[in-house]
Amino acid sequence: MLEVGKKAPDFSLLNQDGNKISLKDFLGKKVVLYFYPKDDTSGCTKEACSFSADLPKFSKVDAIILGVSPDSVKSHKKFSEKYKLKFDLLADEEKKIVEKYGVWKEKSMYGRKYMGVERTTFIIDENGKIKKIFNKVKVEGHNKEVMESLKA
């Protein structure tokens, strides 16, 4: 179980352009690492577009945004282009990172149980340590609560 104050697990994943992105590349910056279930679904689209719209505010506090889901590079590319997203979406098709971060969970919809990503955001400080964890994120206003946490 990941906890505030612990080192965030490093990873290397491909972004929507097929470039390898590693967490350690961002030492010295704050990282908003958010995990979401699926590209181009209503909640995930709203969350991504909110973060993208507020990117200048995040840049001002020296924070970068990384979105992670089990979708493919191709799916991320399409999603990113459709909504003109201005940050990297990382493809975790093998689900190694969602498992490492503890967000791959049993979910339930209409009485049916299945495995999926629980919408979760980690704020990682300049030294690679977890500063804050937002579990079971509600999309509405989430970008603002993340910003408040970064300013604190």
Active site amino acids: 44
Instruction: Pick the closest to residue 5 from 150, 102, 133, 143 (CA basis).
Output: 133
Full strand arrangement of the beta sheet holding 120-124: 20-22, 12-15, 88-91, 63-69, 30-35, 120-124, 130-134
d(CA 149, CA 122): 11
Contact indicator for 143, 51 with CB cutoff of 8 Å? yes
